[in-house]
Amino acid sequence: MGATVLGNRYEILRKVGDGGMAFVYEARDQLLNRRVAVKVLRPEYVDDEEFLEKFKREAKAVASLSHPNIVNVYDVGEDGKVNYIIMEYVDGKNLKEIIQSEGTLDEYTALDITKQIAMALSSAHRNGIIHRDIKPHNILISNEGRVVKVADFGIAKAVSSSTMTNIGSVIGSVHYFSPEQAKGKHISANADLYSLGIVLYEMIVGRVPFVGESPISIALKHINDEIEFTPEQEVKIPQSIRTLISKMTEKSPDERYQTAEELIEDIEYIEKNIDLDFIKEYDDFATRKIDERDINNFNRNRRGIAPIPMPLNGEDEDFDEEYYDDDDEYYDDEDEYIESPRERRLRKKREKELAKKNKKKDTPQARKKLKIIAGVLILILIAQVFFLFKILGFNVFGAFGSKNMVDVPNVVEMSFDDAKATLEKDGLVIKLKSREYSSTIPEDEIISQDPKDGKLKKGSSVEVVVSRGKENVQVPNVTGLPLTQAKKVLEENELELGDVKYEYSTEPEGTVISQSVVGGSGVAGEKVSLVVSKGREERETPRMNQPDLEEEIRNNNRNNENEGSDSEIRRPNTNTPNTPNNNTNPGGETNTNPGGTGNGSGTTTTPGGQTGGHGSTGGNTTEITPRR
């Protein structure tokens, strides 16, 4: 059976690893004739188009990174339904295997590995890539030179966004991710530093700080529980390393190291000044009872007399024939004090022990500390002398040095090219320190410079920090939320509340109806305007005007007067046309008017439109027509 070849180039040799997301094989690049590692995506992710797109995009982004502590990505491709990444082959073990075989690592080795990982993260973070899955399984250590290589940059980002429900397949990740990842919130670069703090703890202690029955229970411990050390660990692990781990694993991102560079600086400080035995010296300061003999001996030492320990049973317990001298004299003409042979032996023994103790104190480490202290004192003295000369107006270097000194111009808020031209005009060199996001300084302009002012020798460098513009952030959908909650959500996503407009709506009062920026991404600090519901609009009931009201009152009064007289009240005729009209008078007689003519003095208008004559009604008739 022939060998398997991917992309007509990479010959698969053997399987070397099996992860939650991919299989890893050792292969040979037939074109360049070199060993490479091939990471093949698991079959369950092959049909997820969104995942595949992110998988390829992130892999290509990491391929642009070049750092000695990052596993290089050479190629990304697919062969049929097989999606793969070609990476640098590291001949060694991953950090998890080393911890399992060795148990714990010594402080210096653990700090060195942590520093190399931080250097890799620093390079990635400067290029806008967050690892999101720092754990011992992704840290490779070569057999030669113990070089640390960080693998799987960017891949974890694709996993967390598409397969969060399949969290159990990413073996071990839940033990290392940050509290903000556990909450599903937006994460920043120092989330990787939290995970690195968990890795450092595991290297020092030999286990992870949080365990549980399920991934959810472990995630809750990351959110709520603090990392603690047992009393035995506090004695064994130096205070400086415990403090370092505590700061790396702060629950709030704002209280952690903000950059990998800050972490590297503290690690280098610990490497230069760490004292593995200083914790044990704390026992010397424990509360204890002082024997009366120690007080007496102290007083004898002050008078120049050798101390005499008093045995409890009256025996000379400290007698040692090795210190007995037959030539000891009982009396010394040059000394007023007569020293007995026993006191002489004890004095010699004490002097010998004291000499050994002093010799032990004179170690290279103690001498190094003395040199550092002496150097600091000398620098302080020199600084004071220079300061004194400056106050008195003396030029320490003389007039001959002033010709090569130039004033440092202010290049803040200039474009990089303008700043470079300005500095070169004065004989200085611009040096790019870093690029950072800024909400106030436009892209490619200078945020800060070091030094800010003063004088420099021609040819010196001025470090500048250049703006990358405003940072892109996700714009959340806040429609349907109360205004106060919508404002809080915007602020959590580094956005600001803009203008607020109120309109009538069927939505409950105080609810956000619409927003000016919908979905997608915006820039940090961008203002989002909102339209908020005023509730349903209330319509007023039409009211009767004053003239109509007054006439209605007059009609009602007229009706009351007619009811009190013998006059007939004639109501509107409700009969249809050509139908006889029946008029009933108060006397009980019923008059039938077939056509509407008579000899009375009243006037009757029928619905048919005919007008009757003067009919006999037995009296005057007044008709009241209701208002329509």
Q: Cα-Cα-Cα-Cα dihedral of 572, 575, 579, 583, to 10°?
A: -40
- Cα–Cα distances in Å, from 146 out to 89, 92, 239, 272, 560? 15, 9, 26, 20, 116
The gap from C-alpha 431 to its chain's centroid, in whole angstroms, comes to: 30
Strand partners, 593: 581
Q: How far is CA 311 from CA 177, 293, 315, 317, 339, in A?
A: 63, 10, 6, 6, 19
The whole-angstrom separation of Cα 159 and Cα 142 is 27
Q: Which amino acid is at 145?
A: G
CA dist 165 and 169 (Å) reads 9
528 three-class SS: strand
What is the distance between the alpha carbons of residues 98 and 93, in angstroms, rounded to a whole number? 7
Residue 316 annotated as catalytic: no
- Rounded distance between C-alpha atoms, residue 12 and residue 29, angstroms: 9
Question: Which residues have CB under 8 Å from 318's CB, separation 6+?
Answer: 309, 311, 346, 349
What residue ranges in 362-492 does DSSP mark as E strands?
405-407, 429-436, 446-450, 455-457, 461-467, 472-474
Establish how many alpha carbons lie within 13 A of residue 12's alpha carbon, considering only the half-sphere containing its beta carbon: 18
Q: Which of 247, 240, 249 is nearest to 210 (CA)?
A: 249
Length of the chain: 628
Burial of 281 (0-12, 13-18, 19+ CB in 10 A): exposed
Q: Rounded CA gap, 432 and 72, in Å?
A: 25
Tell me the C-alpha distance between 195 and 170, whole Å.
Answer: 15
Q: Could you tell me the sign of the dihedral formed by the alpha carbons of 174, 180, 182, 186, in that order? A: negative
Burial code (b: 16+ CB inside 10 Å, e: under 16) for 443-456 equals eebbbbbeeeeeeb
Q: Which amino acid is at 612?
A: G
Give the integer Cα–Cα distance in Å for 219 and 168: 12
Buried b (16+ CB within 10 A) or exposed e, 161-182: ebbeeebeebeebbbbbbbbbb
Sheet of strand 34-41: strand arrangement: 5-6, 10-18, 22-29, 34-41, 82-88, 73-79
Which structure tokens are listed for 160?
A: 């967390």
| C-beta separation of 604 from 617 below 8 A | no
Catalytic residue among 29, 47, 48, 133: 133
**Rounded-to-integer distance, Cα 572 and Cα 583, Å:** 11
Cα–Cα distance list, 101 to 84, 93, 117, 211 (Å): 31, 11, 21, 20
Instruction: Report, as residue numbers or ranges, the catalytic residues.
Output: 133
